[in-house]
Every structure is written in C-alpha cells, then in structure tokens.
Amino acid sequence: MSSQRSYDNSRRAELARLTRRRILDATRDLVIRHGPAAVTMRVVATHAAVSVETVQKAFRTKAVLLKEAYDVTLAGDDEPIAMIDRPEIQAVLAATTPREKLARYATFARVVGERTGPLLSRLLAGSHSGDPDLADFRDTVNRERLLGVTGIVGHLAGVGGLRAGLPPERARDITWALISPELYELFVIDRGWTSEQYEQWLAQALVDALAP
C-alpha cells in the first residue's frame, strides 16, 4: 500500500512540474511575441491550456510569474541547482589564471545573453512603463546580477586576479556594467555582432579593465 502511495505521489509531483513548466513556457512566449503588458493570468492560462486558478495557485502574482519564467530561461532548465553550482560558473572557479577565469566568465555572459536576450529585452523595456510588477522585476534582476558579480570579483580578488590598486568595489561595478543585458543587446541585436564576437570582445574588455 505504501509503495502505491509513493508511486502516486511521485507521479503527481511530476505532473505538477510539467504543468508548471508549461505555464512558464507560455509566459515566455507571450512576453516575446506581444510584450509583458499583454500578459495576464487569464491569457497565460489559455495558452498553457490550464485553468486560471491553476496559474494563480502556482504563482500568486504576475510579478512572481514573470520572474520565474525568467529564472528558468536563465538557467536553461527547471532543475533546483544554484547558478554557482552550474557548469559555466564552475568553469570560472576552476580556471587557473585570471585571464582564463575572465574568458570563461565572458563565455557565461554570452550563454546567458543567448538564453535570455529576447525575453529580458521585452521585460526591461516594459519596466519603464509604470507597471509596478515590471519595475519590481527589473530591480530584482539587477540586485541578483550584482550579487553574482560580487561573488566572482571576490573570487578573483582572493586569488590575486585583480590589478594592483583596483578596489574590489570598483571592479564589481565595472564588471556589472560590462556584462549588462543592455550591452549585449546593443552589440548583438542592434549592431548585428555574432554572439562569438561579443564574447571575444567582452573577454578582452574584462581583462583590460581588471587583470593584473
């Protein structure tokens, strides 16, 4: 009897995960096609073929829904793995020289730009419309980016990877600006650079700005 209950619970959990992912995929597609202003719980429910109540129960607010759609797009999956434990960041930590670490961090920024570019561009553009959900999304993403950059710069400083006389706080701010989604969009979307050209430029810019 207990094994049957365990099977039922695991299947229920998997169905809930698949439903949640379908809702997030629908949200991402709607934002990219129509912009965040057009996204409502009801519209998302229709596109995901679920009830409005299912969307509301799972995500509570539009702000939560948008953020989680972004998070899954950023990670590339819905596995509960922290960004620092993912291969791209582990590659940065494992590199043996500051220049190699910065080159691998540029690879990470390029991968993130490729994954999130169309979605994030729409969300950030909408964040200046006066919609409090989108403004909250923008502020949260910026805080999370700054936190991630602070960790990487702290790691560089700890292994002697910063230029003498460059304060870690200044290095953090420079890095935060260089890997910004707005800069990726300017180069790749507006100016037509390839992602590889962006990565090569970013790696050199990081080295020029930070490395000993």
Q: pLDDT band for 125, please (50, 70, 90 cuts).
A: confident
* 23-73 pLDDT per residue, tens: 999 999 999 999 998 899 999 999 999 999 999 999 999 889 999 999 999
The token pair at 194 is: 């390839």
| End-to-end Cα separation, the chain, in angstroms | 65
Burial of residue 38, with CB atoms counted within 10 A of its CB: 0-12 exposed, 13-18 middle, 19 or more buried: exposed
Q: Where in the chain is the domain with CATH 1.10.357.10?
A: 1-75
Contact yes or no for 48/136 (Cβ under 8 A): no
Query: What residue has token string 């990726």?
Result: 184
The yes or no reply on domain 81-212 and CATH 1.20.1530 is no
Which superfamily does 1-75 belong to? Tetracycline Repressor, domain 2 (1.10.357.10)
Distance CA 184, CA 151 (A): 21
pLDDT for 4 equals 54
What's the pLDDT score for residue 6? 54
Chain segment 133-166, per-residue pLDDT in tens: 888 888 988 999 999 999 999 999 999 999 999 9
